[in-house]
Amino acid sequence: MSPSALAAHVPSTDVGASMYELMADLFPLCRSITGAGLRDTLDRIGTIVPLELTEVPTGTPAFDWTVPKEWNVRDAWVANDRGEKVIDFRTSNLRVVNYSSPVRRRLSLDELRPHLHTLPDHPTWVPYRTSYYAETWGFCLSQHELDRLPDGEYEVVIDATLEAGSLTYGECVLPGSSAEEILVSSHVCHPSLANDNLSGVVVAAHLAGVLAETERRYTYRFLFAPGTIGAIVWLSRNEHLLDRVRAGLVLACVGDAGPVVYKRSRRGDTEVDRAAAHVLRGRGLGDEIVDFSPYGNDERQFCSPGFDLPVGAITRSGHDRSERHHTSADDLASIDPAALADTLGVCLDVLAVLEDNATLVSRNPKGEPQLGRHGLYRSFGGRADQERLESALLWVMNLADGEHTTLDVAEQADLPFPIVAEAAAALERADLVRAEARSGSTRGDGR
Amino acid sequence: MSPSALAAHVPSTDVGASMYELMADLFPLCRSITGAGLRDTLDRIGTIVPLELTEVPTGTPAFDWTVPKEWNVRDAWVANDRGEKVIDFRTSNLRVVNYSSPVRRRLSLDELRPHLHTLPDHPTWVPYRTSYYAETWGFCLSQHELDRLPDGEYEVVIDATLEAGSLTYGECVLPGSSAEEILVSSHVCHPSLANDNLSGVVVAAHLAGVLAETERRYTYRFLFAPGTIGAIVWLSRNEHLLDRVRAGLVLACVGDAGPVVYKRSRRGDTEVDRAAAHVLRGRGLGDEIVDFSPYGNDERQFCSPGFDLPVGAITRSGHDRSERHHTSADDLASIDPAALADTLGVCLDVLAVLEDNATLVSRNPKGEPQLGRHGLYRSFGGRADQERLESALLWVMNLADGEHTTLDVAEQADLPFPIVAEAAAALERADLVRAEARSGSTRGDGR
Amino acid sequence: MSPSALAAHVPSTDVGASMYELMADLFPLCRSITGAGLRDTLDRIGTIVPLELTEVPTGTPAFDWTVPKEWNVRDAWVANDRGEKVIDFRTSNLRVVNYSSPVRRRLSLDELRPHLHTLPDHPTWVPYRTSYYAETWGFCLSQHELDRLPDGEYEVVIDATLEAGSLTYGECVLPGSSAEEILVSSHVCHPSLANDNLSGVVVAAHLAGVLAETERRYTYRFLFAPGTIGAIVWLSRNEHLLDRVRAGLVLACVGDAGPVVYKRSRRGDTEVDRAAAHVLRGRGLGDEIVDFSPYGNDERQFCSPGFDLPVGAITRSGHDRSERHHTSADDLASIDPAALADTLGVCLDVLAVLEDNATLVSRNPKGEPQLGRHGLYRSFGGRADQERLESALLWVMNLADGEHTTLDVAEQADLPFPIVAEAAAALERADLVRAEARSGSTRGDGR
């Protein structure tokens, strides 16, 4: 077994720039959990990687939920008595409360006020609001804008439809030599918000692009679906697949310059949890590893107790991000293309561990082998990592008892996984070790 | 299942004062491991809570022990040659060595000296001494008193009986809806010593009083018995009951202003150990949790290897207490009524956890429930603990896999137990979760 | 079961001096992995303890290895054109590369240079070099010596033989009342190097001497064999014995004043690992305990995955030692006789734990025993360690449930093992506890 090419794949700054461009393309679309903006976004992603779309009709039950009506909005505004639009959907799709029911009325400012949403603590920002499951309507504006609205009568128009239709999600499946699957999921329902979550969407799309070009042990499934309801609908239609899910990553809020944060799966010690922890610790960059909690993104659904899938989540998002969350301040200017590339690199490194991790079985378990006889004595001479590779040879031989994996060796020897994988491959070529693909189980521990 | 009322029960300062009064009542009685003073004490406790007394005859075997003769003392003194009592039992029952055999003699000071006990390091204090299992006699006095005794002849009188009789213990059993028992035990053999252990006795009695007025899941058994021999005799007569003991607390030295100290059961991770640790950590008051050791009070017997009961111990006792231990300085003045009330509150909080702890089983394990459909979306609005209750809803739903209890959720979510219990009750009312009373086993771990 | 006499055996400074003398005796011999110097060394050890020698012929296979030709060297030098020996084997056997093939040639300095080995970073030291498995020849000298060699022609003579012969190892077996074995191994192949490893050899020999005079529960096997190939050859011929190996120690580099370093067995938690950790922690001298790694000495072979024996390693070797390693600076002057004696004492303490460790089963598991009835109340009066012995009585009684050993009690009670062993013996004499020799298994954990 030769080490996967994934580990050697280091995303360039060009890749960061091209992910940023895709974000800029997608930014203006008015996405929601259903509707045309969502479909347009999936179509655009489909130009990067092959995407199969699924439409699930309004009213379809999914566990405790039901697919809602489809929402589409053509235009929306609030105009003053001089016909001037004081709040205009065309300036930003955050202006209208997502899933607002259609309305066309004249109201006094006092009547209008309960429908207007601001952020008094950030008086120049516009909030992002939704009302998926309670029919209402509303507009969002900055506190400064609200303060400047004079009394008087206003024309309110939301030219939207909320009707039977369907919810759309997209999947890109890249078959590997095993039917076991690695799931990568990114919610795609937010309108003009950048980090949350066009960043996750574009990293997932580019990750799919790299994997499509690489020999794969596992089958990869990329899911682009609206948050919560989309994941729940997908789960309800794919329960038969779940036993194949060996690992997964939810990607969201990965475009800022903060440290990478890996959130463990609910089980906490699955293979992807250990792989991500190994990769992040090895970077030595102050990345964080946190326990599962039932907050966050679609890991909440994948890790609900009835599924308990081995799915972790990658975010970045330093502390200053949380207040920008779900506001107009989560804009393209707050995105760092280098962070997008760095996140992509972390994902590739984690997947490289999963691809190459194997149970190691020595063919020479009694005493050390005489490395010289096998052409392995000082066989890495001249390489900068010679010493670590020689150390890895000894560690692999010592731990190759059929109960340790490549990752176990890397952790116990405190060596980078790719070094250990290379040493194991050299020993396998010398017929001193056998690397056994590990039978997958979504219920297995991380070893 | 509605949360127990125990958690909401916060002992008032009045309750502290009334426990202190009971201590003052009981203080002058000359208790021992047998005899009239012990019976009088149990009778007085019986005016607070119903107490069933058991008399175990002298000579009854109990494992490695035998019930000793019954000791009663009417009067005792040492008088000088002018007939003046220089040591007088009537001034304090600590003056005579507990279990002294009767004596009526005249001796020189030098002959008397081996029978006189002092504390040279604390020359104004009188020690507390016993000689239960070796027949002898003696008097206790302060070093200053001893130093002032002139040579000469002294009359020594101990008007006591040491004869076949019985050992007495009292039990208060409060039946619950389950036959499983929670044992609360407090040694009641010490004469005029306050913290050790009238404090434990009055807290136990008042705890029984509160529980008698509260709906109970468990059956509660309060044991007031002489230390060591009393517990051993009780155990020897109640082995058939021990399988029912789900948890227990030994209360002693709980009337001083020091931090609460919880001493784990021998097993260390039983439910009561985890409940006490959760309650004390949540207080944030610097309380201590220590491992089991074979020193202390009757937890030594309950946690001997042949029983290994899930019984912990609560004491307070700051560092300055240990030197007052078993001396006349352990007097009523060293007791803080607020500490008595605080200890009672801790006991109630621990028992509330035991009462309400249940295995949680989701009825909606696949994906999150749509809380709005169940009237649970922002259903705690306006409460100061709204955010924690909403968090608890998510945590309960995520961990309700039949392998986590309410206490597990509280620990993992880092939330107070009562908050989690309330959220679980709300989810149970919405039919989203089932709370299963956990089958008890004295051998089970703490989960 | 009376505690072993080993714990009370404290090596005197005389013993340190006599170990140092033996080192001085052995130092000049030209040892290698085969040959006369090795045999002479084993003969000399055989004057201290009975040693059975085994000769394994050249060409004998041993797992991945083959016994090499036997090497013997009579003399070797490099002489200048005036016949003066500028490098002379007679001044130090480090001068010739160990296992050099015979040579008798005249060469220019430039032709000679590739055969000359120095340590440029330590220009006054001579390196120690070997070439067991690649036929070549060479000389070792200091950098200063090399720098002073003038151009010109040199006569090179290595009067050696490299021919079919045998590899020699020595064993001293001291039978105990059990057939279970404790293995002590020390590599004996290095020529004139002191700490690595005459220090280990003389401590092992003296340890055998003490054990020969002591009643033994276990059978002890002392192995003096050349490093790597010797251990592998021994293992290949003694696989039938390995199931009896209950514990083992590899001794090397134990003559310097650095702290003791115990390296755990590969399993990490075997009985010898726990015993060594207990002894070293109890010393409070800053000794170190490190995890197994596949570097070091013959523990690499004993702990290869096909054997995975419960064998740890004891070294000392402070940080300044590593650069002296395998150089002429590892000389007798760098050895501290007190350190040799201290290492011997540590070994004895560790073996005393193994000898005395037993599973404790109470004969009075229900409640505490009445110690007075058994003559054990304050039975250690007047001894400096009275309080700890009394504490040990209680701890033993409490933990003697058939699932704890003497060592478990010592660890849990935080008491020295000999104190607990003495208390257990007293309780056994009083028929309150039964100490059960534990059935040994090389696969068992350390409990």
B440 pLDDT more than 70:
no
What pLDDT does residue C320 have? Answer: 56
Residues A289 and C98: their CA atoms lie apart, in Å, by 52
Cα dihedral sign for C228, C234, C236, C239?
negative
> Where in B231-369 does DSSP place strands (E)?
245-251, 261-263, 288-290, 311-315, 359-362
Closest partner residue to A368 among C134, C293, C304, by Cβ? C304
- Entry pTM: 0.94
B392 pLDDT more than 80:
yes
What pLDDT does residue B6 have? Answer: 87
In this prediction, residue A13 has a pLDDT band, given cuts at 50, 70 and 90, of confident
Output DSSP code: residue B274: H
Closest partner residue to A305 among B372, B401, B413, by Cβ? B401
Question: Of the candidates C401, A209, A294, A300, which has an alpha carbon nearest to the alpha carbon of residue B420?
Answer: A294
- CB within 8 Å of B121: residues ≥ 6 apart: none
End-to-end CA distance of chain C: 19
A133 and B398: CB-CB below 8 Å?
no
In this prediction, residue B443 has a pLDDT band, given cuts at 50, 70 and 90, of very low
Which residue reads 């909606």 in tokens?
B364
What amino acid occupies position C175?
P
Mean pLDDT of all residues belonging to chain C: 95
Closest partner residue to C305 among A365, A370, A391, by Cβ? A365
Window from A169-183, B323-337, C315-329 with minimum mean pLDDT: C315-329
B147 pLDDT more than 70:
yes
C443 pLDDT more than 50:
no
A366 and C235: CB-CB below 8 Å?
yes
Q: Which among A359, A364, A398 is the top mutation candidate for probing chain C, defined by the most C β-carbons within 10 Å of its own β-carbon?
A: A398
Closest partner residue to B63 among C366, C398, C400, by Cβ? C366
Residues C397 and C374: their CA atoms lie apart, in Å, by 13
What pLDDT does residue C440 have? Answer: 53
Model pLDDT for residues B152-205, shown as the tens digit of each residue: 999 999 999 999 999 999 999 999 999 999 999 999 999 999 999 999 999 999
End-to-end CA distance of chain B: 19
Output DSSP code: residue A320: T
What the block records as the tokens of C23 is: 């080192």
Model pLDDT for residues A275-315, shown as the tens digit of each residue: 999 999 999 999 999 999 999 999 999 999 999 999 999 99
What pLDDT does residue C268 have? Answer: 98
How close, in Å, is residue A307 to chain B by CA atoms? 6
What the block records as the tokens of A316 is: 């970045």
pLDDT more than 70, % of chain C: 97
| Angle, CA of B163, B165 and B171, to the nearest 5° | 145
How close, in Å, is residue A266 to chain B by CA atoms? 9
Whether A114 contacts A146, CB under 8 Å: no
Output DSSP code: residue A193: -
Closest partner residue to B63 among C367, C395, C399, by Cβ? C367
CA distance readout (Å), A356 to A353, A360, B35, C242:
5, 11, 78, 35
Whether B301 contacts B309, CB under 8 Å: no
Model pLDDT for residues B19-68, shown as the tens digit of each residue: 999 999 999 999 999 999 999 999 999 999 999 999 999 999 999 999 99
What average pLDDT does the segment C147-168 reach? 97
A367 and C305: CB-CB below 8 Å?
no
Per CB-CB distance under 8 Å, the chain B contacts of A297 are none
Per CB-CB distance under 8 Å, the chain B contacts of C398 are 266, 294, 300, 303-305
What pLDDT does residue A243 have? Answer: 97
Question: Of the candidates C181, C207, C175, which has an alpha carbon nearest to the alpha carbon of residue C45?
Answer: C207
What pLDDT does residue A363 have? Answer: 98
| Angle, CA of C190, C193 and C196, to the nearest 5° | 75
Model pLDDT for residues B269-319, shown as the tens digit of each residue: 999 999 999 999 999 999 999 999 999 999 999 999 999 999 999 999 755
Model pLDDT for residues A43-78, shown as the tens digit of each residue: 999 999 999 999 999 999 999 999 999 999 999 999
Mean pLDDT of all residues belonging to chain B: 95
What pLDDT does residue A2 have? Answer: 76
What pLDDT does residue C442 have? Answer: 42
Q: Which residues of A touch C (CB under 8 A)?
A: 362, 364-370, 372-373, 391, 394-395, 397-401, 413
What amino acid occupies position A359?
T
pLDDT more than 90, % of chain A: 90
Whether C291 contacts C373, CB under 8 Å: no
Window from A270-279, B423-432, C4-13, C110-119 with minimum mean pLDDT: C4-13
What average pLDDT does the segment A21-28 reach? 98
What pLDDT does residue C321 have? Answer: 65
How close, in Å, is residue B421 to chain A by CA atoms? 17
Chain B residue with CA closest to C396: the answer is B294
Model pLDDT for residues C185-198, shown as the tens digit of each residue: 999 999 999 999 99
Q: Which among A242, A304, A309 is the top mutation candidate for probing chain B, defined by the most B β-carbons within 10 Å of its own β-carbon?
A: A304
In this prediction, residue A441 has a pLDDT band, given cuts at 50, 70 and 90, of very low
What average pLDDT does the segment B256-276 reach? 97
What pLDDT does residue A320 have? Answer: 55
What pLDDT does residue A444 have? Answer: 41
What the block records as the tokens of C254 is: 């134990």
Phi (first) and psi of residue C89, to 5 degrees: -55, -30
Q: How far is CA B37 from the centre of its chain?
A: 20
> Where in B166-303 does DSSP place strands (E)?
166-174, 181-187, 219-225, 245-251, 261-263, 288-290
Segment (H or E) for A45:
helix A36-45
Question: Of the candidates B137, B76, B91, which has an alpha carbon nearest to the alpha carbon of residue B112?
Answer: B137
pLDDT more than 70, % of chain B: 97
Model pLDDT for residues B311-335, shown as the tens digit of each residue: 999 999 755 567 888 999 999 999 9
What pLDDT does residue A419 have? Answer: 97
Phi (first) and psi of residue C58, to 5 degrees: -50, 135
pLDDT more than 90, % of chain C: 90
What average pLDDT does the segment B327-347 reach? 96
What pLDDT does residue A8 have? Answer: 80
Per CB-CB distance under 8 Å, the chain C contacts of B237 are none
A307 and B366: CB-CB below 8 Å?
yes
Closest partner residue to A398 among C64, C236, C305, by Cβ? C305
Model pLDDT for residues A189-241, shown as the tens digit of each residue: 999 999 999 999 999 999 999 999 999 999 999 999 999 999 999 999 999 99
Residues B242 and B67: their CA atoms lie apart, in Å, by 21
Q: Which residues of B touch C (CB under 8 A)?
A: 62-65, 133-134, 228, 231-232, 235-236, 266, 293-295, 300-301, 303-308
Strands C65-66 and C116-117: unpaired
What average pLDDT does the segment B240-252 reach? 97
- CB within 8 Å of A149: residues ≥ 6 apart: A86, A109
What average pLDDT does the segment C256-275 reach? 97
C362 and B63: CB-CB below 8 Å?
no
Q: Which among C64, C241, C297, C299 is the top mutation candidate for probing chain A, defined by the most A β-carbons within 10 Å of its own β-carbon?
A: C64
In this prediction, residue B427 has a pLDDT band, given cuts at 50, 70 and 90, of very high
Helix (H, G, I), strand (E, B) or coil at A402: strand
In this prediction, residue A318 has a pLDDT band, given cuts at 50, 70 and 90, of low
> Where in B342-442 does DSSP place strands (E)?
359-362, 401-405, 433-436
Closest partner residue to B370 among A64, A266, A294, by Cβ? A64
- What is the signed CA dihedral for B292, B294, B298, B299, rounded to 10 degrees? 20
Phi (first) and psi of residue A276, to 5 degrees: -65, -40
What the block records as the tokens of A446 is: 């991380």
C445 pLDDT more than 50:
no
C401 and B305: CB-CB below 8 Å?
yes
Whether C290 contacts C424, CB under 8 Å: no
Sheet containing strand A85-88, edge to edge, reads A85-88, A70-79, A153-163, A103-108
Q: Which residues of B touch A (CB under 8 A)?
A: 362, 364-370, 372-373, 391, 394-395, 397-401, 413
Q: Which residues of C touch B (CB under 8 A)?
A: 362, 364-370, 372-373, 391, 394-395, 397-401, 413
Whether A279 contacts A305, CB under 8 Å: no
Mean pLDDT of all residues belonging to chain A: 95
Cα dihedral sign for C437, C439, C442, C445?
negative
Residues B122 and B351: their CA atoms lie apart, in Å, by 40
What average pLDDT does the segment A151-156 reach? 96
How close, in Å, is residue C302 to chain A by CA atoms? 7
Closest partner residue to C304 among A365, A370, A395, by Cβ? A365
